[in-house]
Chains A and B, each alone.
Chain A
C-alpha cells in the first residue's frame, strides 16, 4: 500500500495541486485520496489522541444498514412485475423465478441509484469547489435513500430534478452538510409529491403497469399500494359499497395481510415495503450506536398509540385497522429507522429525541388516516417534526437553564 500511496503522492497529486493542469478538480482528487487513505494528519491542538471513528465510517455503516431493504426491494420489484403479468401467482413459492425477479429489480433500481448519486454528488463537488472545503460524506446516505423512497417507475428525469432541488434548496443554501433543516431525501420525495402530483399518483408502483402491460394485467391485480386503497375508504361508512372488498385484502391471506406487510410482499416504494428488512437495518444502526434508539422506539410507540386511539373510535374502515398492522404498512418503518433518525434534522437532546420521535410516529398515522390526499403521512410527519425539532430542543434546554437559575437564586446573599 505504501507503493500505491507514493505513486499517488508523487505522480498523480501534483496534477491537482495549485498550478497543476487539473487544479480545478482538486476536490475530486482529495475525496478519492482520503477515501483510500485516512490522511496522515497528526493532531495539533487539544487531545493528542483521537477516536478511530470518523464521518466516513459513520456514513458507510448507515449505507450498510440500508442494504437489506435495497436487496429485498429489488427482488420485490420483480416479484410484483411477474405477479402483475400473471406469470407467477401469490400461491407459488416465493423462491420461484428468484433470479429473474431480482434482475428486473436491478435493472429498474440501478439507474435510479446512478442518477441520484450522479446528480447529487455532482452538485456537492461543485459547491465544495466554490466553498473550498473538502467533500462532506453526508450525501452518500441521502443519495442511497432517495432511490429507496421512489416508486419504481418514476421517470429518471424527475429523480434528477428532485435530487437537484433537495441538494441545492434543501441543503446547500443553508450552508451544506450539518446545516440543513429538512431531511434531504424527504425533501426530494416531497418535491416530487407536490410538483408532479399527477405522475406520482399514477400506476407507477409496479414496474410496467403504466406501459405495455397495461392491458394485460392479471385479473384482480390493481397495482395500487395498501395506503392508496385504504385512503379510498375514508369518508365512507363502514358498511359502504366496496369498503368490505378493500378491507378483505388486509385479512389473513389477502394481498396486504399483516404477514405480507411485515415481510414486504406488497407494492410500494422500492425500499420501504419490508418491515423485516428495515428492522434488520435498524438492528445494525442500534448495534453500532449510529441510529438513535430513542427516536426509533418513541416513533414506534407514537404510531401504535395513534393507531390504538383510532381503533377506539373506529369511525371508518381505515381506523379499524389494528395498530400493529398500521405501522408495518407504507413507509412508516422506513421513515422511523432511516429518516427520523437523521441526526442533523432530528432533535439533538436526548429528551428532545424522545418527544420528537413520539410525535413523528403519532402524526404519521394521523395524517394518513385523516387526509386521504396524502396517503404517505410519514413523509409529511417527519418533515413537520424536522421543523419542530429546534423548538423541542429549545424547551428541553430551557428546563436545564431554569434549574441552574433556580440554584443560583437560592443562594445566601452573603456568598453572591
Chain B
C-alpha cells in the first residue's frame, strides 16, 4: 500500500558545496570519541575507565536509568581520556584506536527466527538500541514502550543533505536485513517508509508500507511524515530510525560484529572538493578534512546547517550524523547598504524566505551563506512567517508561546507530542526577530518529559 503525501509549506535552502557522487574510504582515524551529549537527556554511567583496553563492541557507558541500553566502543583500543565539562558532566569518551580493529563477537542472528523480546535484548546488548528514537520527546526510545508504528524517512531534505539513492547503493543488503529486524520489533504494527517521490531506490525493499512524499524541506523530516501518515496522539508512542542505522543493525545481525559505519557527506562552501566518505562512527574530523578546506574562518557543523551541532575543527563527528558541513563563520560586521540590512540582496550571499529580499525573483541558484545572525534578537513582531514553513496542522507561534510561559496544558493541546526541535528549524531560520525556536521547543519537550517521570 502506498499513499502520496504532498507537502506545500516549507522551502529548500540551496547552498553551495553539494557533495559529488564519489565515495572514498577515509583514512583510519587515530582517535575516536563517543559523546554522551549526542544522546539528549541521557545520564551516562561509565563502565570504561582511563587506560582500559576495549574491543569494538565493549560497553563504554550505559544509561543510568535504563541499564540495558548500552553504548559501545566503535573500535578496539585504549580508553585514552574521559573529557568532562562543568559539574563533571561527561562530554567525550575518547579511545585511541588500534591499527587493526578487534571485534567482540555477538554471534550471527537471523531476525526472522527470533521473538521481539529476544531481538530487543540482543540489540541492546550489542549497543544498537540508541538508534531508535521515540516520539514524543525525540529521545532514545524506551525499550519497554509499545510503539503504534515505526517510522523511517527514506530521505533527508535538509540543506546539502546526502543523496539517499547514492548512499543506498552501498548499504542496500544490510538495510534489507535491518528492515526484517524492524518488522520483528514492531510486533505486527506497521513499519512506514517515506520515499522521495519519483525515487526508485527503495522499490525492492519489502515488508514496509511505502509512502511517496513530495515537496520542499522539511518533507524529509520524519516528524512531518508521521503527521501526515498517522499523527501521534496523547499517550501514543512511535519509534523512528534513520536508514543508515537500519543498515548498521542489519550488519550487526549478519556479521555479529559491532561495526558502525557511516557514509558521510563532507559539504559546504568552505570545502574544496565536497564528496562522500565512509567512516566509522565517532571518527575524528581530520581524516576527512585534512588538506581539503579553504583558508577562512570556518564553522564546523556535525549535521546539516539547520539542525547540526557546532564542533571544533579537531572535534569528532556526532553519533547520528551523516553530514559534515563546513561554512564560513559570519563574525564580521556588515555595512548596512552593501551587505547589511538595507542591501539590494542580489548576490548569492543573501538568501531570504521573506519577499523583502529579491531572492524569490532570482530563480534557482545556489547560495554561499555564512553563520552571521543577520540581525539582533528582537521582540516577536512579525506574524505569519512560521506558518509558511511549518507543514503541520499545528499553530507554531502559539505552541512556542505556550512553551515560553510554561503552560503545560496548552502545550499538550497545541500538539507538542508531534513535534521535535528539527521540525521548527525553518521557522527559526526565517524568524525576523531571530528567536532561538529550536531551543525553546527542546525546553518544552524536556518540561513535559519531567512531568511524566
Contacts and interface: CB of A to CB of B under 8 A. Distances in A.
Interface of A: 1, 4-5, 34-58, 60-61, 134, 136-138, 176-179, 287-290, 292, 343-344, 346, 348-350, 353, 393, 397, 400-401, 403-405, 407-408, 411, 415-416
A38 B374 contact: yes
Given A38-B375, A350-B387, A49 B342 contact: no
Residue among A41, A346, A405 with the most chain B CB within 10 A? A41
Given A36-B335, A55-B432, A287 B355 contact: yes
Nearest to B231: A407
Q: Which of B234, B342, B357, B381 has the most CB of A within 10 A?
A: B381
B438 A350 contact: no
Interface in B359-411: 369-376, 378-384, 387, 393-395, 397-398
B425 A47 contact: yes
Contact of A292 (B327, B352, B384, B439): B384
B327 A49 contact: yes
Nearest to A400: B395
B138 to A, nearest CB: 15
B373 A53 contact: no
B121 interface: no
Contact of B433 (A43, A55, A403): A55
B361 to A, nearest CB: 10
A63 B418 CA distance: 40
Chain B at the A interface: SS class: loop
Contact of A290 (B299, B352, B356): B356
Contacts, number: 219
Given A43-B371, A50-B374, A401-B414, A178 B351 contact: no
A51 B341 contact: no
Interface stretch (B40-48, B52-60, B304-312): B304-312
Given A53-B356, A177-B381, A401-B414, A35 B336 contact: yes
A41 B376 contact: yes
A343 B387 CA distance: 14
A172 to B, nearest CB: 12
Contact of A46 (B343, B384, B439): B439
A123 B373 CA distance: 28
B332 A40 contact: yes
Contacts of B235: 408, 416
A48 B439 contact: no
Interface of B: 13, 15, 148, 159, 231, 233-236, 299, 301, 305-308, 310, 325, 327, 329-336, 338-343, 345, 350-357, 369-376, 378-384, 387, 393-395, 397-398, 413-415, 421, 425, 428-434, 436-439
B299 A48 contact: yes
Contacts of A50: 371-375, 429, 431, 434
B430 A407 contact: no
Contact of B376 (A134, A344, A411): A134
B235 to A, nearest CB: 5
Residues of A contacting B: mostly: loop
28 contacts: A37-B340, A38-B374, A42-B372, A48-B306, A49-B15, A49-B327, A49-B369, A50-B373, A51-B432, A52-B345, A53-B352, A53-B357, A53-B430, A54-B376, A54-B432, A55-B378, A58-B432, A176-B379, A177-B378, A290-B356, A343-B384, A344-B381, A349-B395, A397-B398, A404-B233, A404-B393, A407-B231, A408-B235
B428 A60 contact: no
A353 B382 CA distance: 13
B378 A137 contact: yes
Contact of A401 (B383, B413, B430): B413
Given A40-B333, A42-B370, 17 more contacts: A35-B336, A37-B334, A39-B376, A40-B330, A43-B373, A48-B310, A48-B327, A49-B370, A49-B371, A51-B353, A54-B341, A54-B434, A55-B382, A57-B342, A177-B379, A178-B381, A348-B397
Contact of A179 (B336, B341, B379, B437): B379
Contacts of A177: 378-379, 381
Contacts of B333: 5, 37-40
Contacts of B372: 38, 40-43, 50
B387 to A, nearest CB: 6
B376 A405 contact: no
Contact of B338 (A1, A58, A288, A349): A1
Nearest to A137: B378
A400 B354 contact: no
A390 to B, nearest CB: 11
A48 B307 CA distance: 8
A89 B286 CA distance: 82
Contacts of A46: 307, 421, 425, 428, 436-439
Contacts of A61: 356
B330 A58 contact: no
A55 B375 contact: yes
A403 B415 CA distance: 11
A57 B332 contact: no
Nearest to B369: A49
Contacts of B430: 51, 53
A405 B236 CA distance: 13
Contact of B354 (A40, A179, A289, A346): A289
A393 B299 CA distance: 41
A38 B332 CA distance: 9
Contact of B378 (A48, A136, A287): A136
Contact of B148 (A43, A51, A176, A415): A415
Nearest to B438: A46
Contacts of A1: 335, 338
A370 B89 CA distance: 70
Nearest to A344: B381
A235 B181 CA distance: 82
Nearest to A348: B383
Nearest to B435: A46
Contacts of A38: 333-334, 336, 339-341, 372, 374-375
A53 B354 contact: yes
B429 A42 contact: no
Contact of A51 (B343, B381, B429, B438): B429
A226 to B, nearest CB: 33
A385 to B, nearest CB: 15
Contact of A136 (B357, B379, B434): B379
Nearest to B437: A46
A220 to B, nearest CB: 47
B382 A58 contact: yes
Contacts of A404: 233, 393, 413, 415
B355 A40 contact: no
A48 B301 contact: yes
A35 B333 CA distance: 11
A232 to B, nearest CB: 40
A46 B310 CA distance: 9
B394 A400 contact: yes
A42 B329 contact: yes
A260 to B, nearest CB: 34
Contacts of B395: 349, 397, 400
Contacts of B428: 46-47
A235 to B, nearest CB: 41
A396 to B, nearest CB: 8
